[in-house]
């Protein structure tokens, strides 16, 4: 805090995110069949997001550590409000209205959970004790169950992962992990019946070919594969993808926007996009290894790995490697809440990665 004039800023992260989010606007224009109002709204969120990211980068990591519990409680409260009072859209309660904005409350938990767990675990001696593990798992489990019951299985899994990553990185014992995995496998029939909604079970069954319905849940994935595959090496050109423009592809602005990119820009376009994502991840990896203390390392690792998991699930879903669970493509899919939470996340990462001050413990 000695030099007020210093701006905490990571040019690699900032410019690659800047690039990918503006490319995203371009893709969104085509995916929405040229709907400028959607693009404009997204643009505003991108600009706000970039500013937010810069602002969030400035405070010292200690601030985040100190307010981590508060942030977590706030996030849980918001989630509680959503589940109890939120409007039901398409059979799911995921949104809470604040003024004229709708916010997807689970997005906050995606950040609050890893930051809190990092603050909880960063001072613990290695190896971390069963008591601490159980507390962490209880918090993670609660978050997962509440979100999965909204129902929003995709986000629930991501939130759970964000917590588990921190737990793993902070030194969870291998024996414990092996035991939990066995327990998970044994309890999977229970999870299948209790946690999953019928439509989610249907999607997963369709994916594994147990239940074939070419015009139902499987239709989307078939059309997505056709869109990507028919893009070939160079793509059909901007706004020229027949699968996209003639509406054969569903949810082009959100879950399936990657298929639009694949169709219109081809394999080379996809390679370019993926290399930007890869660059961001590698930068995060570097920052996590070189962060100033254990708290920063855990936060950067937890958040950036969550980001990676989010990205990979989203990709694998549209190319037919995973069941369709509803996962937006980060920085590109339409959606203000998701976008702001991403910028917030990278703001936190920047803060953690750029503050180099060492304080004696």
Partner 1 sequence: MIFEERQIEKNNFSSRAIILFALMGLGFLAALIQIFLLQVSSYSDYEIAALKNKNYIIPIQSLRGEIFDRNGRYIVRNEPTFDLITRPDSIKNIDSFLDQIEPVIFLSESEKFLYLKLFEDKAFANKELVLKKDLTEVEIARFNVRSHAFENAFIDKRYRRVTDYPKIFSHVLGYTSRSKSPYKLLSNIPISHWKDGELIYANGFIEGKTGLEETYNSQLIGKPGQRVYEVNARGRLVKSLEYRPSQNGSSLKTYLDIEAQMSAAKFLGSRRGAVVAIDLSSGGINVLYSSPSYSINKLSNGLSVDELQNLINDENKPFFNRALQGRYPPASTIKPAIAMFGLANKLVDWDFQIKDPGFFTLPEDGRVYRGWKKGGHGIVNLRKALLVSSNTYFFSLAYQADINELALHLSNLGFGKDVCKDCFDEDQAFVPTPEWKYKKINTAWFKGDTVNLGVGQGYFVATPIQLANYASILANKGKGFELSLVMNSEEYYMPKIWQNNEYNELDWKRMHQALTDVIESDFGTARSIRDLKTFSVAGKSGTAELVGLDSKEAYKDLRDTELLRDHSIIVVFGPMPNPKYAVSVVIENGESGGAVAGPVAIEVLKSLINNE
Query: From the list 195, 285, 326, 335, which residue makes contact with partner 1 (rule: CB under 8 A)?
Result: 285
Residue 295: CB atoms within 10 A of its CB come to 23
266 lies in the binding site for partner 1 (CB under 8 A) = yes
Helix %, strand %, coil % for the chain, to 5? 70, 5, 30
Regarding 262 and contact with partner 1 (CB under 8 A), the answer is yes
Q: Is 139 in the site for partner 1 (CB under 8 A)?
A: no
- Under the binding rule (CB under 8 A), the answer on residue 130 touching partner 1 is no
**d(C-alpha 22, C-alpha 17), whole Å:** 8
Closer residue to partner 1 (CB): 197 or 230 = 230
Asked if the peptide bond before residue 127 counts as cis, ω within 30 degrees of 0, the response is yes
Nearer residue to partner 1 within complex by CB, 252 or 337: 252
Q: Which is nearer to partner 1, 144 or 307 (CB)?
A: 307
If one asks whether residue 129 binds partner 1 (CB under 8 A), the answer comes out as: no
Token pair belonging to 257: 């926007």
Distance CA 135, CA 174 (A): 18
Longest dimension (CA), the chain: 64
DSSP code, position 323: -
Q: Does 299 bind partner 1 (CB under 8 A)?
A: no
- Quick check: 352 binds partner 1 (CB under 8 A)? no
Helices (H), 122-256: 130-148, 153-169, 174-195, 198-207, 217-231, 242-245
CA distances from 89 to 1, 79, 94, 96, 151 (A): 45, 16, 8, 11, 11
Asked whether 86 and 95 are in contact (CB, 8 A), the reply is yes
Closest CB 195 distance from partner 1, rounded Å: 23
The one segment of 94-102, 178-186, 223-231, 347-355 that binds partner 1 by CB under 8 A: 223-231
Applying CB under 8 A, does 333 fall inside the site for partner 1? no
Among 102, 309, 326, 335, binds partner 1 (CB under 8 A): 309
Considering the rule CB under 8 A, would residue 358 count as an interface residue with partner 1?
no
Residue 40's alpha-carbon distances to 102, 133, 260, in angstroms, are 17, 45, 19
359 is a contact residue toward partner 1 (CB under 8 A) = no
Q: Least CB distance from residue 235 to partner 1, whole Å?
A: 9
- The reply to whether 203 sits near partner 1 by the rule CB under 8 A is no
**Phi/psi of residue 292, nearest 5 degrees:** -75, -30
Q: Which of 292, 274, 272, 260 is nearest to 330 (CA)?
A: 274
Q: Whole-number minimum distance, CB 320 to partner 1, in Å?
A: 7
Asked if 237 and 269 touch (Cβ cutoff 8 Å), the reply is: no
Q: How far apart are CA 19 and CA 226, in angstroms?
A: 28
Among 228, 280, 339, 344, binds partner 1 (CB under 8 A): 228
Would you say how long the chain is, in residues?
Answer: 361
Asked if 173 is part of the footprint of partner 1 (rule: CB under 8 A), the reply reads no
312 binds partner 1 (CB under 8 A): yes
**What three-state secondary structure class fits 103?**
strand
Candidates 198, 206, 106, 202; CA nearest to 160 is 106
Q: Which stretch binds partner 1 (CB under 8 A): 122-130, 140-148, 175-183, 342-350?
A: 122-130
Q: Which of 233, 238, 240, 357 binds partner 1 (CB under 8 A)?
A: 233
For partner 1 (CB under 8 A), the number of binding residues is: 49
Shortest distance, position 340 Cβ to partner 1, whole Å: 24
Contact between 243 and partner 1 per CB under 8 A: yes
**Tokens (6 digits) for 188:** 């999977």
Among 14, 62, 225, 276, binds partner 1 (CB under 8 A): 225
Q: Considering the complex, state which of residue 129 and residue 247 has its C-beta at the smaller distance from partner 1.
A: 247
Residues contributing to the site for partner 1 (CB under 8 A) = 123, 125-126, 165, 168-171, 223, 225-233, 242-243, 246-248, 262-263, 266-267, 270, 274, 278, 281, 285, 288-289, 294, 297-298, 301, 305, 308-309, 311-312, 315-316, 319-321, 361
């Amino acid at each position: 805090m000695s030099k007020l004039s210093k701006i905490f800023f990571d040019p690699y992260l900032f410019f690659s995110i800047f690039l990918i989010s503006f490319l995203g606007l371009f893709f969104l224009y085509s995916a929405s069949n040229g709907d400028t109002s959607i693009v404009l709204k997204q643009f505003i969120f991108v600009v706000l997001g970039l500013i937010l990211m810069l602002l969030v980068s400035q405070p010292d990591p200690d601030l985040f550590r100190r307010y981590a519990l508060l942030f977590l409680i706030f996030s849980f409260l918001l989630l509680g409000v959503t589940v109890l009072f939120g409007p039901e859209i398409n059979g799911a309660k995921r949104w809470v209205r604040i003024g004229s904005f709708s916010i997807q409350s689970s997005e906050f938990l995606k950040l609050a959970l890893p930051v809190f767990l990092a603050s909880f675990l960063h001072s613990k001696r290695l190896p971390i004790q069963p008591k601490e593990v159980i507390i962490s798992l209880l918090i993670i489990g609660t978050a997962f169950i509440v979100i999965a019951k909204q129902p929003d299985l995709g986000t629930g899994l991501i939130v759970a992962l964000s917590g588990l990553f921190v737990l793993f990185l902070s030194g969870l014992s291998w024996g414990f992990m092996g035991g939990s995995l066995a327990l998970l496998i044994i309890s999977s029939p229970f999870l299948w019946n209790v946690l999953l909604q019928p439509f989610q079970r249907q999607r997963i069954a369709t994916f594994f070919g147990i239940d074939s319905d070419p015009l139902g849940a499987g239709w989307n994935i078939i059309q997505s594969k056709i869109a990507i595959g028919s893009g070939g090496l160079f793509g059909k050109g901007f706004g020229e993808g027949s699968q996209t423009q003639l509406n054969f592809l569903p949810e082009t602005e959100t879950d399936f926007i990657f298929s639009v990119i694949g169709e219109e820009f081809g394999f080379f376009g996809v390679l370019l996009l993926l290399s930007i994502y890869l660059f961001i991840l590698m930068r995060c990896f570097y920052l996590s290894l070189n962060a100033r203390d254990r708290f920063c390392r855990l936060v950067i690792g937890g958040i950036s790995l969550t980001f990676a998991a989010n990205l990979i699930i989203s990709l694998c879903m549209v190319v037919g490697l995973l069941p369709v669970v509803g996962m937006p493509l980060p920085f590109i899919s339409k959606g203000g809440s998701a976008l702001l939470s991403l910028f917030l996340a990278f703001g936190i990462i920047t803060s953690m990665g750029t503050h180099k001050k060492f304080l004696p413990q």
